[in-house]
Amino acid sequence: MDRFAKRQKWMARICTNCIFCRRARKKQKGLIYGIVKLESRICPFCRAYEKVYGRKSYEPYEV
């Protein structure tokens, strides 16, 4: 595994623990959800989350 893949997984883990992203995934509505939805294009942690897990940082967990 190369250095960049490890770094992306590390950054995706940070997004997983982010207070705002967690709330957006859980609630799926409200101000925080809207902010995270807009911010996910800019935030490097949200982009890494999308690459590692294959879904946006504000989308709910699959059950």
Secondary structure of the chain: what % helix, strand, coil (to 5)? 70, 0, 30
Structural contact between residues 58 and 40, judged by C-beta atoms closer than 8 angstroms: yes
> Which DSSP symbol is given to 57?
T
Q: What pLDDT digit, counting tens, does each position of 25-58 carry?
A: 999 999 999 999 999 899 999 999 999 999 999 9
Taking the C-alpha atoms of residue 63 and residue 5, their distance in angstroms, rounded to an integer, is 26
Question: Residue 1 half-sphere exposure, CB side, CA atoms within 13 Å?
Answer: 6
Cβ neighbours for 3, distance < 8 A, ≥ 6 positions apart: none
Res 4: pLDDT: 81
